[in-house]
Amino acid sequence: MKIAVYCEKMREDGLALIGKARAMAPKSRVIALCEEQDEAVLSCGADELAYLGLVLDDCAQACRVAEVLKTLGPDIALFPATVRGRFISAWAAAKLQTGLTADCTALSITEDGILKQTRPAYGSNLTADILCRERRPQMASVRPGVFPVPASTKRVEDRAFSDLSGLAAPSLLELLAHTPVEGGASLSSARVVVAGGKGVGGAEGFALLRVLAELLGGAVGATRSAVDAGYISYAHQVGQTGVTVRPELYIAFGISGMIQHTVGMSAARTVVAVNTDKNAPIFRSADYGIVAPWRETALYMLQFIKERKGLI
């Protein structure tokens, strides 16, 4: 079995997918399709580093990926479910006329050697298992953060390298500018996440949460409804269509606990929920529940931590 894994520049999702590919199909040949020449893909278990590079035109890049997949002929192709990963996988699947499952949270190989793709469906109330029996490759995008990055091994001598960076594609888009996101981008690897929902009321509410997060050395998370309401940027969104986090501590302020959100934080070691509604579903996902106004509670915690740190 041949498995291709798309590895984005400056992100570790590809490494996690290589680890997953190795674990679910130990005898497979894993080819890392890389935007940058990163030897880490080899020490994480890939048999081959196929260096594709990255052209500053996502459509052209997607055409190149489709070409490479056509040539390599893998049985399975995995992509990180980031904005670019989702786009490239969708474009390539259409070009190859094959099936693609978006935003998977679990993968396994069935007895008859088919990739079983599991994803939350229908508003995340359900999980669905999806198969692509006939067409190849079987393609899936995988939500960032659901699989751990494997520990690196030293066995890299017998691994192969190929340079595909010369592959040309017609130009469709021109990148005029890139504005990096403001701080807190390390959400997916944060040790502490302080998150807010629509109940936080606005951007000022999130400013308070940011102070608390900074004191705890953590990052700020948000629900989709808070992001949709414009309280905070999309980069902070935790959940089905955002980031999956696995912190030591997750504190949820003013979050109702829709399953679309909780799927993104259920791997947290300890969860504290603060909500004025005792029946809010978030308390079913919490180890500790505080039924109180969020601001009052946040201010209390702030005070508590400042005292601990000797800041007061």
Partner 1 sequence: MRILVCVKQVPDTTEVRLREDYTLERDFIAQVMNPADESALEWALQTREKLGGETTVLSMGPERAETTLREAIARGADYAALLTDRRFAGADTLITARCLAAAAKRLGGFDMIVCGRRAVDGETGQVGPMLAALLNIPCVPNVTVAQAGEKLIADQLTEAGVNRWASGYPALLTFCEWSYRLRLPTLSGLRRARQAEIMRLTPDELGLSAEECGIKASPTRVVRVEARPVGVRPCKWMDAEGVMTALMERCPEAMP
With CB under 8 A as the contact rule, which of the stretches 70-78, 93-101, 155-163, 198-206 interacts with partner 1?
93-101
Measured CA to CA, the distance from residue 92 to residue 100 in angstroms comes to 9
- Which three-class secondary structure string do you get for 1-16? CEEEEEECCCCCHHHH
Instruction: Say which amino acid occupies 304.
Output: F
Pick the piece of the chain touching partner 1 (CB under 8 A) from 39-47, 70-78, 97-105, 198-206: 97-105
State the nearest-atom distance from the C-beta of 255 to partner 1, in Å: 13
Using CB under 8 A as the binding rule, whether residue 234 contacts partner 1 is answered as yes
Nearest to 137 by CA among 258, 209, 31: 31
- The contact mask relative to partner 1 for 270-289 (x = CB under 8 A, - = no) is xxxxx--------xxxxxxx
> Is residue 244 a contact residue for partner 1 (CB under 8 A)?
no
Q: Within positions 142 to 161, which residues make up the interface with partner 1, using CB under 8 A? A: 144
Between CA 309 and CA 64 the distance in angstroms is: 53
Cis? peptide before 137, omega within 30° of 0: yes
- Is 124 or 223 the residue whose CB approaches partner 1 more closely? 124
Among positions 39-68, residues that touch partner 1 (CB under 8 A) are 58-59, 62
Q: What is the Cα–Cα distance from 83 to 63, expressed in whole angstroms?
A: 16
Q: Which of 23, 37, 73, 126 binds partner 1 (CB under 8 A)?
A: 126
Nearest distance, CB of residue 11 and partner 1, angstroms: 8
Q: What is the largest CA-CA distance in the chain?
A: 66
70 binds partner 1 (CB under 8 A): no
Closer to partner 1 by Cβ: residue 205 or 289? 289
Number of residues that bind partner 1 (CB under 8 A): 100
Q: Smaller CB distance to partner 1: residue 42 or 142?
A: 142
How far is it, in rounded angstroms, from Cα 102 to Cα 120?
A: 10
Q: How far apart are CA 134 and CA 123, in angstroms?
A: 28
What is the rounded CA–CA span in Å between residue 181 and residue 210?
A: 15
Q: How far is the CB of 97 from partner 1 (least distance, A)?
A: 7
**For residue 251, what is the DSSP state?**
E
Q: Does 131 help bind partner 1 (rule: CB under 8 A)? A: yes
Phi, psi of 87 (to 5 degrees): -65, -50
CB nearer partner 1, residue 59 or residue 149: 59
CB of 84 to partner 1, least distance (A): 7
Stretch 159-218 residues interacting with partner 1 (CB under 8 A): 172-181, 185, 191-192, 215-218
Q: Please choose, from the candidates 184, 87, 98, 102, the residue with its C-alpha nearest in 3D space to the C-alpha of residue 143.
A: 102
List 6, 263, 275, 295, residue binding partner 1 (CB under 8 A): 263
**With respect to partner 1, which residue has the nearer C-beta, 164 or 291?**
291
Should residue 312 be labelled a site residue for partner 1 when binding is judged by CB under 8 A? no
Instruction: Map tokens 């979050």 to a residue.
Output: 255
- 7 and 35 in contact (C-beta within 8 Å)? yes
CA atoms within 13 A on the CB side of 207: 3
Instruction: Name the minimum Å distance from CB 126 to partner 1.
Output: 5
Residues in the chain: 312
Residue with Cβ nearer partner 1 (1 or 229):
229
